[in-house]
Structures are given as structure tokens and as C-alpha cells.
Homo-oligomer: A and B are copies of this chain.
Amino acid sequence: MLKYAMIGGGPGAFVGEVHRTALALNGQAKLVAGCFSRDLEKTRTLGAELGVAEDRLYATPEELSRLEAGDIDFAVVVTSNEAHYPNVKACLENGIHVMCDKPFTHTSAQAEELVELARDRGVFLGVSYTYAGYPMVRQMREMILRGDIGAVRFINCEYPQGWLAEMLETTGHIQAEWRADPVRSGGTLSLGDVGSHIEYLVPHVTGLKVTRLAARLDSLVEGRLLDDNGTILTEYDTGARGMYWYSQAATGMVNGLKIRVFGETGGLEWFQEDPDILHHMPLGESARKIRRGTPDLTPGAMAYSHTPPGHPEGWLLAFANIYTSFCNTLVDGEAVDFPTGEDGVRGVRFMEVCLESSKNDTAWIDMT
């Protein structure tokens, strides 16, 4: 099993926990070291909870980055955006593979420097653009690659959210505060936060490169200092055209990432809020709903699929919830709400009675 260290992701940090959960699900790597916070006490408290050995909890990322290659296999950097650059750099300089949260760095000069460094030291460097991990995004990519829709002509990709339709940054809302601060965010609010997902997804799925763009960034909410909405016209190396729209001020929208790709012989559409379906519209034929887990899947999409068709992947979390109630019961010695043996008895009896009724020409059976 691989061993990893985490920089950032202290108590209450949402994204750090997501990375740890993803790695737990994945089952290939184990957390063995951490510098979760600038406050060593916080790092120690969380480290204890997570079962990290005390001598592998560090006050600064620099100390952590001096771990030997044998001690850890890779580091996960999930600090606030402005600290990505120095932390990733420290790790790479010490020959440690890195997975960094997105957006990567504040400037492209910094980003290029890190990539150079990784190349020099011969280590791997990743940036966690989550949406590439969806099975049906992989399906879309592989279908386009194998020519299912012919040459791509036009791409419409949008990512509207609505949670910043109010001026949250002045209300003490932590997530809004640093994102909306020109200094800490690196000069963009929503372009960095959600537009960046569009930027990654389109070339990932289509294989095209942007050659030219024109953008209008808007601050729709009065008083906001940075962009909360934007429209971008694009042109690609094949002559294809595109348009992107991102927003965090689209009142009432939740997390509406949608990508539509139109080619010579078909169209494809994927919507993140209904992620198990890829809509395929072949020229001149009825549209098809390609579903995760079914025989129409490409090998890459099949490899990324964890649950049977029709079982949303959150089904695993439903399972986990049952165990949470059960474990809480054991810890507290008092039954919390989970399906019990009594429920099991009732269930078995129900089946027996159904069989009996059915054998008797649908006779009514009393169950009291």
C-alpha cells in the first residue's frame, strides 16, 4: 500500500476531508504524515484522530517535505490557493510526488516553474480536477476519440452556481471571504473556482486546444470586487468553435456543470447533476441514454464505475450511513435508528405471507 502525507486540510477544511475520503475509498494509499494547519496543536489533534504517528506530524510544510522517499510515496497539497506554490515546490524539490488541489497557482509563471521542477526531479505532479474522474466523462472522451460523433464543430460548456448571488463575503462567510478577496484568491473569484473546471474539461474530453479566446467577466452582485460570472468565446486548433459560461451568481442554480459537444455525425451531452447518463444524439436517429455500468460503456468508463447500473454511486454512501448509525449504537450502547433484526423478522414474514396469498389466488391474509 502506498503512503501519503497531507499538507493543509486541517479541522473543518472541507476539501482536505474530501481528499482523505477519496483515498480511503480508493484503498491504494494510507495517510502516514501531515502538516494540516499552521497551528501545530491543531495538526496534532487531527493527526491523532486520523491515526497518524505523532512523530510524523509537522509544524511546517518544509519540515514535512524533508521526509525521505522511503517514508512517503506522495504528498497531497490542499492548503488555501496562495500556499499551493511554495508547498508544492518544497515537496518537488525533495523528490516527492504531489497531487495539488485546483486551481493550481496564482500565476502561470509559477505553474510552469513547478512543472519544470517536477520534470527535472523526475517526479509526478497532479492537479485534482475532479470532473475528469466521472465514468461518463471518461465515456464521452473515449467516444469522441474513437470517432463516434465525427470531427467536433462546436462546444457549449456551462457551469452556473447560485450560492454567491448574495454579498456573502461581508457577512463573515469563510468560504466566500477568501474567494472574493482580490489578494488571497489570486485575482479571480468564479473564474478560478468554477470556470477552471470548464477549462480543464473541454480539452480533456475533446482533445482540442484553445488557440484564441475573448472573454467578458462580470461582477453581477453590487459591491463585489471580483468576477462572479463570465462568458468566454473560444476557437480551437481544428477550427472548431466554442462558448463557455460560468457563474456563481446565477440565483437558484446549484451546481449545473454541463458540457455539450456537437460533431459532424452526432452530439453528446453530460450534466453533472445526473452524472450516470450520457446523452448521445446520433445524426438522424433517436437519442440514446447511455448509462453507467451497461454494455455500451467504453473500457475506460467501465474501469471507473463502482456500482451496478441504476445504483447512483452515492448508494455506497447510503450503505456507509447505515453503518454510521450502527457504529454509533455500539459506541453509545443505545440503539440509534438503523434497520434491526425486528425489521428483518417482519421482512421475512412479509415474504412468507405474500407466497401464501399468491398460492391461494391472491387471497387476503391477515397479518395482525
The stretch from A5-13, A36-44, A54-62, A265-273 touching chain B is: A265-273
Whether the Cβ atoms of A196 and B351 lie closer than 8 Å is: yes
> Who on chain B is nearest to A337 by CB?
B300
Cβ contacts under 8 Å, A130 to chain B: 315, 318-319, 322
Cβ contacts under 8 Å, A300 to chain B: 337
Contact bitstring A101-141, B, C-beta under 8 A = 1, else 0: 01111111011101100100000111111111111000000
Whether the Cβ atoms of A281 and B253 lie closer than 8 Å is: yes
CB distance from A299 to the nearest CB of B (A): 12
A115 to B339, CA, bound (A): 12
CB distance from A87 to the nearest CB of B (A): 14
Whether the Cβ atoms of B267 and A252 lie closer than 8 Å is: yes
Whether the Cβ atoms of B362 and A214 lie closer than 8 Å is: yes
Contact bitstring A189-221, B, C-beta under 8 A = 1, else 0: 001100110011001100000111111111011
Interface of A is mostly: mixed
**Tally of contact residues, A, Cβ under 8 A:** 179
Interface residue A171 (Cβ < 8 Å from any Cβ of B): no
Whether the Cβ atoms of B313 and A312 lie closer than 8 Å is: yes
Interface residue A47 (Cβ < 8 Å from any Cβ of B): no
> Who on chain B is nearest to A217 by CB?
B358
Interface residue A183 (Cβ < 8 Å from any Cβ of B): no
Whether the Cβ atoms of A2 and B331 lie closer than 8 Å is: yes
Whether the Cβ atoms of A351 and B241 lie closer than 8 Å is: no
Whether the Cβ atoms of A253 and B241 lie closer than 8 Å is: no
From the candidates B128, B287, B290, B346, name the one contacting A289 in the complex (CB within 8 A): B287
